[in-house]
Amino acid sequence: MTRLAIVLLAALMVSAMYLVRVQYDSRRLFTELDRAVAEAHRLETEHGRLEVEKRAAATSLRVETLAKDKLAMRTVTPAVTEYVTSASAVSPVASAPPAQGRTP
């Protein structure tokens, strides 16, 4: 009978130690999950802030102001417009004089 009691006591001790270990792991994992959720919330908030910032930076008024100030650009007017024609638009064959002495 004493042998059975010792075996049962050992099983009880092992089971209690295992239960403590499982509870410790559960609390540790819950803490990690809570930190991950908080980090995800922080990242979502930062993403929203950056989206608003991006939309504000891409407005046409801001782009025009930066172009004028930093790049020294100006708006297009007919007085400063130069038209460039392509060299391939004028055919060299059409502008050459007709050959002498040949008939088609």
Top pLDDT among 20 and 57 is at: 20
Q: Is 88:95 a contact under the CB 8 Å cutoff?
A: no
- Give percent above pLDDT 70 in the chain: 83
Q: Is 56:62 a contact under the CB 8 Å cutoff?
A: yes
What is the per-residue pLDDT for 104?
46
What is the per-residue pLDDT for 86?
82
Top pLDDT among 26 and 84 is at: 26
What is the per-residue pLDDT for 101?
52
